Structure 1
Amino acid sequence: MRTPNDLELVHLTKRYGTTVAVNDINHVFAPSTYVCLLGPSGCGKSTTLRMIAGHETVSEGGIILNGTDISRLPPAARGTAMMFQSYALFPHLTVRDNVSFSLKMKGVDKATRAEKAMKLLDLVAMAHLAERMPAQLSGGQQQRVALARALITEPRVLLLDEPLSALDPFLRIRMRAELKKLQRETGITFIHVTHGQDEALALADEVVVMNNSVIEQAGTPREVWGSPRTEFVARFMGGHNVVTFGGQRVALRQDAVRIAAGGQPATVTASVTGIEYQGDRVAVTSRTELGEEVVALVPDAAFFAQPINPGETLGLAWDEGRVHRLEA
């Protein structure tokens, strides 16, 4: 059910000459949710984000926010704010002046904009560094300043273009938790572009998977990961084997595949092609007689009790109830 504060894409299309970057997509983003646009490079996710922001023109279709078509409005008049991948902080301004810059452009008096900037810096735990220059900050600190600067305009929708890609892996995980916390505290709709499946699963209330300029599937992280609709989604989200079973293409979770040992019945016979230790488990990759690759995730204790080597032939088994049929 739609509410007036929904953001809706209606037959949204973007062409560059004869190239179609976004092809007739329709989607409703519920208010006060964290949404991740997920997909490989070139799938259309960043172009979609930039059209919502007003940094790309719309070829066809509309963008409806709060009941109004904003697709022809300038960026500052849309009720959206965008945080760029590079953070794009002004190097000659202090942290506080960076955050308050948009209010200065609107003619807000100095005392009011300083007070608002400090409130936002307090929200992102950066008030103590208000007088620093951007060059004196770490990557994670710069990101928080960029977030505060985007939020000071009180947008209905905050747009984030791969905001964690410049951070090291440890900081990326920490900032994920902070982004989610910030979204919950502000109640603003966050739309976050990423090509990282783990990032989308950790952050999103809704995952929107894009491929070849269209939306392949949208739903909760559990729905999209656990019940992929297409072969592309199953392969891209990871954790699944895509095989032919009963004459149909199906997805089968890697943790649902067992190695049939000691005379146990096997569903298929396969030849081991690779072994990868993953800490609490071992990924055993094999190729079936049909030439299909199947990965079985074996608990590390069970694997090392009966080690397997590449080149060996083994039986693989799974319960039929764990098989998920895919759309053609």
Structure 2
Amino acid sequence: MRTQGDLELVHLTKRYGDTVAVDDISHIFAPASYVCLLGPSGCGKSSTLRMIAGHETVSSGGIVLHGMEISDLPPAQRGTAMMFQNYALFPHLNVRDNVAFSLRMKGVDKATRHKKAMALLDLVDMAHLADRLPAQLSGGQQQRVALARALITEPRVLLLDEPLSALDPFLRIRMRAELKRLQRELGITFIHVTHGQDEALALADECVVMNRAVIEQAGPPREVWGAPRTEFVARFMGGHNVLDWHGARVAIRSDEVRIVASGGVAATARAVEYQGDRVALTAKIEGGEEITALVSDAAFFAQPINPGEALRLGWDEGRLHRLEA
């Protein structure tokens, strides 16, 4: 059900010559939600984000925000703001002036724009570095400045294009928590493009999985991960095996597959990967399909299995999840 506060894509299409980058997608983004648009390279997620932002023209269809069609409006008049992957900070301006830049362009007086910039720098924990130039900041600090700069226009929707991809893994996890906190505090919609499943699962209220220019599945992270509708979503989100089972394509979670003493299916171990609290055992079953079992480290090392050894794998038939064609 739609409300006036929603962002809605209506039969949105983007063509580059004969190539269709986004193919007739329709979707309603709930207000004040954290949405992750995810999928492999070339699936259409960044083109979709750029059309919402106004940095890419719409070939056909529309974009509606708060009940108003915004597809033909310039970026600054849409009620959206975009934070770019490379941060795009002005090297010659200090942090405060970078954040205040869009207000300066609108003719806001210096005292007012500086006061607002400092309030936002405070929000992202960067007020103490207001006089520094971008080159004097770390990657994580630059990202916080870019975030404050995007938020100064008081957007209804903040668009983030792979904002964490340039950060090291430790900082990425810290910044995930920061983004989630900010979104909750500000109460606005964040639409975050990523190709990282773990990032999407950690952040999103809704995951929108794109493949080949269309939305393949959308819903709460637990639903998309736990009940993938298609083989693509099952494989892309990870954690599932996809098998032919009695004439149907099915998915079974890797953590539902067990090493059994009898019954189940015969298999040959192919690879063993230690992952700390668990071991990922990949095996080939009759018919040649590969299957991965996630086994607790205690259970595995009580009876270790080496690549090349025969074993039997079993699962509860009720946990098999049938996939759409």
Whether TM-score is above 0.5 comes out as: yes
1:10 maps to 10
In the alignment, is residue 202 of structure 1 matched against residue 199 of structure 2?
Answer: no
2:38 maps to 38
CA deviation vs aligned residue, 1:99-132 (integer Å, no higher than 9, x gap): 0000000000111001100100000000111111
2:263 maps to 265
TM-score w.r.t. length of structure 2:
0.99
Measured in 1, the distance between the counterparts of 2:56 and 2:197 equals 26
Shift of 1:301: 1.1
Segments of 4+ in structure 1 off by > 6 A? none
1:301 maps to 298
Identity %, equivalent residues: 81
2:115 maps to 115
Shift of 1:227: 0.2
Measured in 2, the distance between the counterparts of 1:226 and 1:112 equals 49
* 2:306 counterpart SS class: coil
2:133 maps to 133
Amino acid corresponding to residue 93 of structure 1 in structure 2: L
* 1:232 counterpart SS class: helix
In the alignment, is residue 286 of structure 1 matched against residue 311 of structure 2?
Answer: no
* 1:76 counterpart SS class: helix
CA deviation vs aligned residue, 1:154-184 (integer Å, no higher than 9, x gap): 0000000000000000000000000000000
Amino acid corresponding to residue 156 of structure 1 in structure 2: R
Shift of 1:246: 2.5
Amino acid corresponding to residue 235 of structure 2 in structure 1: R
In the alignment, is residue 191 of structure 1 matched against residue 195 of structure 2?
Answer: no
Shift of 1:290: 1.1
2:310 maps to 313
In the alignment, is residue 275 of structure 1 matched against residue 272 of structure 2?
Answer: yes
Shift of 1:321: 1.2
Amino acid corresponding to residue 319 of structure 2 in structure 1: R
Amino acid corresponding to residue 276 of structure 1 in structure 2: E
After superposition, residues 1-328 of structure 1 pair within 5 angstroms as: 1-261=1-261, 264-266=262-264, 268-328=265-325
Shift of 1:22: 0.3
* 1:159 counterpart SS class: strand
Measured in 2, the distance between the counterparts of 1:269 and 1:216 equals 34
Measured in 1, the distance between the counterparts of 2:111 and 2:194 equals 37
Measured in 2, the distance between the counterparts of 1:309 and 1:144 equals 47
In structure 2, the gaps of 5 or more residues are: none
Measured in 1, the distance between the counterparts of 2:257 and 2:74 equals 53
Greater shift after overlay, 184-193 or 298-307?
Answer: 298-307
In structure 1, the gaps of 5 or more residues are: none
Measured in 1, the distance between the counterparts of 2:260 and 2:275 equals 21
Measured in 2, the distance between the counterparts of 1:13 and 1:228 equals 25
Shift of 1:245: 1.6
Measured in 1, the distance between the counterparts of 2:197 and 2:72 equals 32
Amino acid corresponding to residue 279 of structure 1 in structure 2: G
Measured in 1, the distance between the counterparts of 2:322 and 2:235 equals 14
Shift of 1:271: 1.1
Measured in 2, the distance between the counterparts of 1:299 and 1:30 equals 38
Measured in 2, the distance between the counterparts of 1:303 and 1:64 equals 53
Amino acid corresponding to residue 183 of structure 1 in structure 2: Q
Amino acid corresponding to residue 301 of structure 1 in structure 2: A
Shift of 1:47: 0.3
* 1:201 counterpart SS class: helix
Measured in 1, the distance between the counterparts of 2:321 and 2:174 equals 34
Amino acid corresponding to residue 79 of structure 2 in structure 1: G
CA deviation vs aligned residue, 1:256-276 (integer Å, no higher than 9, x gap): 001112xx322x111111111
* 1:145 counterpart SS class: helix
Measured in 2, the distance between the counterparts of 1:305 and 1:203 equals 36
CA deviation vs aligned residue, 1:210-269 (integer Å, no higher than 9, x gap): 0000000000000000000000000000000001122210010000001112xx322x11
Instruction: Please give the root-mean-square deviation of Cα atoms over the aligned residues, in Å.
Output: 0.6
Amino acid corresponding to residue 37 of structure 2 in structure 1: L
Shift of 1:312: 1.1
Amino acid corresponding to residue 183 of structure 2 in structure 1: Q
**Size of the alignment, in residue pairs?**
325
Measured in 2, the distance between the counterparts of 1:38 and 1:44 equals 9
* 2:117 counterpart SS class: helix
Shift of 1:302: 1.1
